[in-house]
């Protein structure tokens, strides 16, 4: 059985953290451990994993996953799970490449031939959303996601919500479906009002209408609106997800696990199966790099309750800092081509992408860690980002 001989990680622009694992038979695989704004913390966790797993059997994906979860006493959370994601995705890529098949063939095989996708429009203070929606339509998308509001007070003036409904109406006017991301920055007094304002415009979903640490508030809000409720990017394991399917059951309609934060392909696959049992769809969160996106495509291919996939093509996080985008680090960027709102299920081995390792190594040299933003209200108090 092949044994792991090296675990490397590469901080690359615009804000991604790639992982390469090599085995003693010469095989290798790539993963992504990006955790926006906290790269150094994840890199520290990867250093520990490197010491633990060099010499382990490379085929033992579940054993390594369980070792991270159970053998360190402290478990879960964004840092550990993001580092584990990079390891897990790379091991799946390596194993499937060794066998000459896509990863989805090892997870039960395809249930679809193409994957519905959406892209982002608008930044934290969105304007000109109609023009941006038209640009996405020209790229082949039929659906987008947009921010609901700029930063907002705990109890703000009700008129601060009016423009959100106007922007959604503009996007719908060009024939695009739209999800609306509350971003967890809106508290319950405003979220209830905003959901009601958006209802006539029929968004695909409202995302993180409240922060996920308030499941009782989300449950209350779910009873006040007909709009599907989505969340999950800040849930880091099936145990975090569990309360939204049981204790506070029926309060969400779409789960959005982030494959780079939740423990990789292994955990995303298990979470999707849990959700299917509760009639909850999954639409994975992915404003990240090409490896995370390719890993999500593998999940989408074999998951019955997968409904739509986020893509970071041209997202402002990419374009504001340079020229790097999801096609930059791969030799076959055509796997990300969008046509009539869909991407074809990749047919290549492993993740289905071929990493430009020379460019990864070149651009990682001296790459700076990306920092998250933040908002301060007019009274000097901090607001949710």
Q: Flag whether pLDDT at 258 surpasses 80.
A: yes
CA 4 to chain centre: 27
> Considering the chain, what percentage of its residues have pLDDT values greater than 90?
79
Residue predicted with more confidence, 153 or 295 = 295
List the beta bridge partners of residue 382. 376
Active site residue 187: no
**Which residues, other chains included, contact 214 with Cβ-Cβ below 8 Å and sequence gap of 6+?**
188
The whole-number average pLDDT for the span 69-75 is: 90
Supply the pLDDT for residue 383. 78
312 three-state secondary structure: coil
Tell me the torsion sign for CA atoms 11, 12, 14, 19: negative
Q: Residue 1: how many CB atoms within 10 A of its CB?
A: 10
Out of 38, 248, 261, 285, the active site residue is 285
Q: Flag whether pLDDT at 123 surpasses 60.
A: no
What CATH class does 4-100 carry? alpha beta
Supply the pLDDT for residue 13. 95
Distance, in Å, from the CA atom of 92 to the CA atom of 47, rounded to the nearest integer, reads 20
The whole-number average pLDDT for the span 280-305 is: 98
List the beta bridge partners of residue 22. 6, 28
Residue 108 CB-half CA count within 13 A = 12
Residue predicted with more confidence, 65 or 314 = 65
Whole-Å CA distances, 325 to 12, 143, 311, 318:
11, 20, 11, 6
- In sequence order, what DSSP letters do the residues of 347-370 get, joined into one string? -SSBTS--B-HHHHHHHHTTPPPP
CATH of 105-364, one of 3.20.20.120, 3.30.1330.20, 2.160.20.60, 3.40.50.11740: 3.20.20.120
Q: Flag whether pLDDT at 61 surpasses 80.
A: yes
Distance, in Å, from the CA atom of 223 to the CA atom of 339, rounded to the nearest integer, reads 36
Range with lowest mean pLDDT among 102-106, 249-253, 320-324 = 320-324
Structure tokens at 29: 């695989």
The whole-number average pLDDT for the span 220-224 is: 94
Structure tokens at 335: 């796997």
Residue predicted with more confidence, 382 or 36 = 36
Out of 38, 183, 187, 261, the active site residue is 183
Distance, in Å, from the CA atom of 134 to the CA atom of 171, rounded to the nearest integer, reads 8
Indicate the domain borders of the chain.
Answer: 4-100, 105-364
The whole-number average pLDDT for the span 250-268 is: 96
Whole-Å CA distances, 250 to 151, 238, 275, 295:
29, 16, 11, 28
Confidence of residue 278 (pLDDT cuts 50, 70, 90): very high
Q: Flag whether pLDDT at 381 surpasses 90.
A: no
List the beta bridge partners of residue 350. 102
The whole-number average pLDDT for the span 20-34 is: 98
Instruction: Convert the pLDDT of each residue in 307-361 to its tens digit.
Output: 999 999 888 777 776 788 999 999 999 999 999 999 999 999 999 999 999 999 9
Cα 128-233-272 angle, rounded to 5 deg = 120
The whole-number average pLDDT for the span 105-116 is: 98
371 three-state secondary structure: coil
Range with lowest mean pLDDT among 25-34, 265-274, 280-289, 374-383 = 374-383
Phi then psi for 15, rounded to 5 degrees? -165, 35
Active site residue 63: no
Instruction: Convert the pLDDT of each residue in 202-218 to its tens digit.
Output: 999 999 999 999 999 99
- In sequence order, what DSSP letters do the residues of 202-270 get, joined into one string? --S-EE-SS-TT-HHHHHHHHTT--S-EEE-TT--SHHHHHHHHTTTTTS-SEE--BTTTTTHHHHHHH
Supply the pLDDT for residue 124. 54
Range with lowest mean pLDDT among 27-36, 94-103, 365-374 = 365-374
What b/e string do you get for 304-321 counting C-beta neighbours within 10 Å, with b at 16 or more?
Answer: ebbbbbbbbbbbbbbeee
**Helix (H) / strand (E) containing 8:** strand 4-12
State the average pLDDT for the chain.
93
Confidence of residue 15 (pLDDT cuts 50, 70, 90): very high
Distance, in Å, from the CA atom of 340 to the CA atom of 353, rounded to the nearest integer, reads 22
């Amino acid at each position: 059985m092949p044994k792991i001989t090296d675990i490397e990680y590469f901080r690359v622009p615009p804000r991604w953290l790639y992982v390469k694992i090599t085995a003693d038979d010469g095989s290798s695989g790539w993963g992504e451990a990006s955790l926006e704004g906290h790269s150094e913390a994840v890199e520290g966790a990867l250093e520990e994993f490197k010491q633990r797993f060099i010499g382990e059997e490379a085929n033992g994906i579940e054993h390594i996953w369980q070792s991270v979860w159970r053998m360190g006493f402290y478990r879960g959370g964004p840092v550990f799970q993001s580092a584990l994601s990079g390891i897990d995705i790379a091991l799946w890529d390596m194993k499937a490449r060794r066998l000459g098949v896509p990863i989805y063939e090892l997870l039960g095989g395809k249930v679809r031939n193409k994957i519905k996708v959406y892209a982002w429009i608008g930044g934290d203070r969105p304007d000109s959303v109609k023009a941006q929606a038209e640009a996405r339509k020209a790229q082949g998308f039929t659906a987008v996601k947009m921010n609901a509001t700029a930063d907002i007070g705990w109890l703000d003036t009700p008129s601060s919500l009016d423009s959100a409904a106007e922007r959604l109406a503009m996007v719908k006017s060009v024939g695009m479906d739209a999800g609306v991301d509350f971003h967890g920055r809106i508290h319950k007094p405003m979220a209830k009002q905003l959901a009601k304002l958006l209802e006539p415009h029929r968004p695909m979903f409202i995302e993180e209408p409240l922060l996920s640490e308030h499941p009782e508030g989300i449950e209350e809000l779910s009873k006040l609106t007909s709009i599907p409720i989505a969340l999950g990017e800040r849930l880091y394991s099936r145990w975090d997800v569990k309360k939204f399917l049981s204790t506070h059951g029926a309060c969400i309609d779409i789960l959005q696990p982030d494959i780079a934060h939740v423990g990789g392909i292994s955990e995303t696959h298990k979470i999707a199966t849990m959700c299917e049992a509760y009639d909850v769809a999954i639409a994975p969160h992915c404003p990240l790099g090409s490896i995370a996106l390719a890993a999500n495509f593998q999940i989408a291919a074999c998951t019955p309750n997968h409904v739509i996939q986020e893509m970071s093509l041209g997202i402002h996080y990419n374009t504001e800092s340079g020229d790097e985008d999801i096609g930059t680090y791969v030799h076959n960027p055509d796997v990300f081509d969008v046509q009539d709102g869909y991407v074809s299920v990749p047919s290549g081995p492993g993740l289905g992408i071929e990493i430009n390792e020379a460019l990864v190594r070149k651009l990682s040299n001296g790459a700076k860690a990306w920092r998250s933003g933040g908002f301060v209200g007019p009274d000097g108090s901090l607001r949710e980002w």
